[in-house]
Amino acid sequence: MKSHAAGYVYAVLTFSIFAFQDSISRYLGASYPPVFIATIRYWVLALVAITVAARLGGGLGQCLQSRRPWLQILRGLLLTVQVILAITANATAGLIPTQSILAATPLMVALLSVPILGEQVGWRRAAAIGAGLVGVLIILQPGTAFFSGDLVIPVVSAVVLSLYTVTTRLAGRDDRPITSFLYMGLVGAAALTFVGPFFWTSMPAEAWGWLAVLCVTGICSHYFFIRAYQHLDAVKVQPISYLQLVVASTIGIVVFGEQMTAHIAIGSAIVVAAGLFTIWREFVGRSTARRAAAGFGAGLPVAERSEG
């Protein structure tokens, strides 16, 4: 299989599995505490992270060495909170509204990258971000009979996920990916070990089976995610992430009997279109910057960098 084709296969598998995981979370979260579900997931994730790090050159100790440990701890805590919020949102608000709102995450990341990462957002991307946020408002329908307090949870989840993504980029400037992965698993497992037992509950064998599937698919999806980025640039992987919205919405309708209302469909379409445009403009901006840098290095005239 050619490299690019393999990358697309890995990306499709990744986001399809993510949607499947959201469906399991919706099912389990409706009957069992989300903190309990997240605790089991993180214990398994930490075990996998330790195993992978220990097998690498330098061992576990070297993988734990971080230039920004407090930032790593912060991003680990952010993801832990986000996982709990996502499970809660899928169970209370439903798959379709939750995934429609989470689709705005790339827009929030672009917005937060300005103050945190020092990146620049031109008027085109700023307009796309604004349009995407309008799409979120169309989904939420605040001030109308359609609005539900349960929709606040996926909004907060999207904000926390955006903060996690931006802090991960920031940590990636100084630390290796394996270090970030290890801290992600260990910090979450450590934090939930203190609170998880208070939410411990008995479950039938069927529920434990679904939780085991959730843990195994989590490992597989992270592996496929890494492999996708080994074969493809981010600009080719990120648009495929919207497949998660399509698959999750389909499962929501077919399995859970959810409804795709007109305002959610319209709002989601605006959010996805704005997100795709933002991803494309970011790619154009970086490509222009690289060409300008290459031209400058060769003593050639430098083209003015286009605004994102």
| Distance separating alpha carbons of residues 183 and 188, to the nearest angstrom | 8
- Please give the chain's pLDDT, 308 residues, in tens: 567 888 899 999 999 999 999 999 999 999 999 999 999 999 999 999 999 999 887 789 999 999 999 999 999 999 999 999 999 999 999 999 999 999 999 899 889 989 998 888 888 889 999 999 999 999 998 877 778 889 999 999 999 999 999 999 899 899 998 999 999 999 999 999 999 999 999 999 999 999 999 999 998 998 898 888 888 877 788 888 899 999 999 999 999 999 999 999 999 999 999 999 988 887 777 666 666 666 655 554 443 334 45
Q: DSSP state, 1?
A: -
pTM for the predicted model, two decimal places: 0.88
Domain range list for the chain: 93-173+261-308
Smallest CA-to-CA distance from 267 within 108, 132, 150 is with 132
How many other CB atoms are found less than 10 A from the CB of residue 114? 13
